[in-house]
Amino acid sequence: MTKKEQLYEGKAKKVFATDAPELLIVSYKDDATAFNGLKKGTIVGKGVINNRMSNLLMQKLEKAGIPTHFVEELSERETLVKKVSIIPLEVIIRNIAAGSFSKRYGVDEGFVFETPTIEFSYKNDELGDPLMNEYHAIAMKLATQEEIETIKKYAFAINEQLKAFWAECGVILVDFKLEFGKLLDGTIVLADEISPDTCRLWDRKTGEKLDKDRFRRDLGGVEDAYAEVMKRLNEHI
């Protein structure tokens, strides 16, 4: 597969065209951002870990019947994926109160929900990715009712799969962000990544944060936390 021109560069990844119009190459960077890009830095080795972790978890989800954009891992930083039209909704599943949820609603961080919650935000950096409900998304023609129902079904199924897997690794899946895209035929698939950048992961015994909150909150030990999560994943995958 030949890598051609760069099509896009985001906060954490670059996307390249290939000689196959329906396939793209995603390259993971070590750049780190938080608070909609207001805080910037580097997490050494993050791109390698996020690439590998996303690919392993997406293959696991594929086996559980959840379609993804994953095709093939090309190198430690690059992966071949199906070209999708990204639905501009960030889908957040929460099992435990943390982060913006705790601040927004005055709920103590660590409060365990009886059932998982789901929320959507409009994927728009200029507006700060504002929260929106499904009626807003339909009104703005970001997705149809049927597409939103499919996304919700997949998101909760992904949560059950990942929650169980991380529990085997001695890790609590607190919350995580997903993005979905549409293939040329309209099929909805999981896209983007699943990594410590997009998931809150706490050590089951100590409660230690093993994710990007260490960068957001200047807790230190960011690289070590990412490496620890990857080590546990490799031991249990």
Closest CA to 194 of 163, 224, 148: 163
Is 180 in the same domain as 222? yes
**The pLDDT of residue 37:** 78
CA distance 188 to 91: 14
Over the stretch 24-44, which tens digit does the pLDDT of each residue have?
999 999 999 888 877 899 999
C-alpha pair distances (Å), 159 with each of 73, 118, 131: 23, 10, 20
Do 148 and 191 lie in a common domain? yes
- 118 and 191 belong to one structural domain: yes
Same domain, 109 and 172: yes
The Cα–Cα gap between 93 and 25 comes to 27
Domain of 52, CATH number, reads 3.30.200.20
Domain boundary among 57, 82, 107: 82
Statement to judge: residues 195 and 232 lie in one domain:
yes
**Domain stop point among 82, 109, 142:** 82
Residues 69 and 103 in one domain: no
How many structural domains are present in the chain?
2
pLDDT for 191 equals: 98
Same domain, 55 and 110: no
Domain that holds residue 57: 3-82
**Domain end (from 58, 82, 106):** 82
51-62 pLDDT tens trace = 999 999 999 999
pLDDT value, residue 39: 87
Least confident stretch, 6-15, 55-64, 136-145: 6-15
For the chain, how many residues are written?
237
Do residue 98 and residue 56 come from a single domain?
no
Buried b vs exposed e over 163-175: b needs ≥16 C-beta within 10 Å?
bebbeebebbbbb
Give the whole-angstrom CA distance, residue 178 versus residue 68. Answer: 11
- Report the percentage of the chain scoring pLDDT > 70: 100
Maximum CA pair distance of the chain? 51
108 and 201 both lie in a single domain: yes
CB within 8 Å of 121: residues ≥ 6 apart:
89, 90, 92, 129, 130, 131, 132
User: Is the CB of residue 136 less than 8 Å from the CB of residue 143?
Assistant: no
Determine the average pLDDT of the residues in 160-169. Answer: 98
Q: Do 52 and 113 share a domain, yes or no?
A: no
Average pLDDT over residues 154-178: 98
- Judge if 119 and 66 occupy the same domain: no
Identify the CATH number of the domain in which residue 130 sits. 3.30.470.20
Is pLDDT at 139 greater than 90 in this prediction?
yes
State residue 1's pLDDT score.
80
- pTM summary value: 0.96
Residues 62-104: pLDDT tens digits?
999 999 999 999 999 999 999 999 999 999 999 999 999 999 9
Whether the predicted pLDDT of 4 surpasses 90: yes
Residue 52 sits in the same domain as residue 127: no
